[in-house]
């Protein structure tokens, strides 16, 4: 896992940062995939799936051929859910 984090820090994150985006929640699955979450501008970009498969996955697999692929972790964070509930509770019915 440390190797994948290093690859992301050296080769992937700088490119995403240049587009006001980033990558987080990196973890390996037992099946040999890497799960990542795109953040910032990358999280809402129409090309995010293409970025994931053609850039992020390609870079990781080039240096770690044992990785089967990269998949998006699109789960909603607990912090975001709490913030949304707070807003909804303040809206008059």
Whether 93 has a pLDDT exceeding 60, the answer reads no
**Phi, psi (degrees; rounded to nearest 5) at 42:** -70, -25
Of 85 and 50, the one with more pLDDT: 50
- Domain assignment of residue 52, given as a range: 2-90
Q: What is the mean pLDDT of the chain?
A: 89
Beta bridge partners of 24: 37
Whole-prediction pTM value?
0.76
pLDDT at 25: 81
Dihedral angle computed from the Cα positions of residues 11, 51, 38 and 66, in that order, rounded to the nearest 10 degrees? -60
Number of compact structural domains in the chain: 1
What CATH number does the domain containing 63 carry? Answer: 3.30.300.130
Residues 6+ positions from 35 with CB-CB distance below 8 Å: 25, 26, 27, 28, 29, 70, 71, 72, 73
Report pLDDT digits (tens) over 33-78: 999 999 999 888 889 889 999 999 999 999 999 999 999 987 666 6
The arithmetic mean of pLDDT across residues 12-32, rounded, is 94
Provide the 10 A C-beta neighbour count for residue 23: 23
């Amino acid at each position: 896992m440390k190797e994948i984090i290093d690859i992301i820090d050296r080769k992937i994150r700088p490119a995403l940062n240049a587009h006001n985006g980033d990558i987080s929640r990196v973890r390996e699955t037992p099946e040999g995939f890497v799960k990542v979450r795109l953040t910032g501008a990358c999280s809402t970009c129409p090309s995010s799936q293409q970025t994931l498969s053609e850039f992020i996955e390609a870079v990781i697999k080039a240096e770690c051929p044992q990785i089967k692929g990269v998949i998006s972790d699109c789960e909603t964070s607990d912090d975001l859910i709490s913030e949304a509930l707070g807003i909804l509770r303040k809206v008059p019915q």
